[in-house]
Structures are given as C-alpha cells and as structure tokens.
C-alpha cells in the first residue's frame, strides 16, 4: 500500500485523504497511518503549515482571515523520488 500511496501522491494534483482512501480502497485512518509511515521512513515530508494560534495576533479584528486549520503541504523527498524512478 505504501508504494501505491507514494505513486498516487506523485501523480495527484493535490493530496486529499478521502480521495486516496477511495482510490486505494482503504479507510481514511489507514491512509493517515500510511502517510505518517512514509514521513517516518523519509520518503515524504510534510509541512504542517502555519498555525495561527502561534501568531501574536491576540484580539486583532482581522484574525478570522487566518487559517484556523493550517494548510498542509507535502513533498516527495529525494529518497522517495529515487524509489519512484525505479
């Protein structure tokens, strides 16, 4: 499943856990496990984005424009690219 997951992510325009779950016939939590494992093993890297709660915005009235759910991004590492290339 992990290799398939890596291939899917490589070919996808964006990462949607729901979509990956449907494509690979797995549960979403399973996909999450797989992604975590790929990160742990160094095939993928994840950037959890900026959590607005960490910013000194305090009671700024414009804070609702900030992402309460930080936007996450993924990147296939060199190690991951090497495996994909084979």
Partner 1 sequence: MSYTIALVGNPNSGKTTLFNALTGSNQHVGNWPGVTVERKEGQVQRGNQLYTIVDLPGTYSLGALSEDEVVAREFILTGHPDVVINVVDATNVERNLYLTTQLLEMGAKVVVALNMVDEAEDRQISVDEKALAQRLGAPVVPTVASRRKGLDQLMQAAADVIERPLNGVVRLSYGESIDAKLAELQEFLVKGDLTYPPGWLGVKLLEGDTYVRKIVRENASLQSSEEFGRLWDEIAAQEDDWQLEIVDRRYQFVSAITKDVVQRPGTAVQTATDQLDRVLTHRYLGLPIFAAIMFVVFQLTFAVGQDLLGDLMATGMGAFGSILERVLVNAGAPDWLIGFAGSGIIGGVGAVLEFIPLIVILYLLMGLLEDSGYMARAAYVMDNIMRAVGLQGKTFVSMIVGFGCNVPGVMATRTLESRKDRMIAVLINPFMSCGAKIPIYLVFIAAFFPSYGGLVLFSVYVLGILIAFLMGKVFSKTLFKGETSHFIMELPPYRLPTVGNVLRNMWDNVSGFLARAGTTIFAVVSLLWVLAVLPGGVEPYGPESILGRIGLVIAPIFGPAGFGNWQAAVGLFSGIAAKEAVVATLGMVYAGVEGGAELVGVIREVFTPLSAASFMVMTLLYTPCAATLGTIRKETGSAKWALFSALYTFAIAWVMAVLIFQIGRLFGLS
Q: What is the smallest separation between the CB atom of 60 and partner 1, expressed in angstroms? A: 6
Tokens of 6: 């890596």
What lies within 8 Å, CB to CB, of 59 at 6+ separation is none
Nearest 5°: the CA angle 51, 54, 59 is 105
Residues paired with residue 44 on neighbouring β-strands, in sequence order: 76
Q: What is the smallest separation between the CB atom of 82 and partner 1, expressed in angstroms? A: 6
Q: What is the smallest separation between the CB atom of 55 and partner 1, expressed in angstroms? A: 5
Chain residues binding partner 1 by CB under 8 A are 1-3, 6, 9, 12-19, 21-22, 26-30, 33-34, 37, 40-41, 43, 47, 49-50, 52, 55, 57, 59-69, 71-76, 79, 82-83, 86
């Amino acid at each position: 499943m992990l290799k398939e997951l890596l291939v899917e992510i490589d070919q996808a325009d964006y990462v949607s856990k729901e979509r990956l779950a449907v494509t690979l016939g797995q549960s979403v939590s399973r996909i999450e496990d797989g992604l975590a494992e790929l990160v742990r093993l160094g095939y993928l890297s994840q950037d959890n984005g900026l959590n607005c709660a960490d910013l000194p915005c305090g009671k700024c009235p414009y804070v609702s424009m900030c992402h309460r759910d930080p936007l996450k991004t993924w990147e296939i590492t060199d190690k991951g690219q090497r495996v994909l290339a084979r």
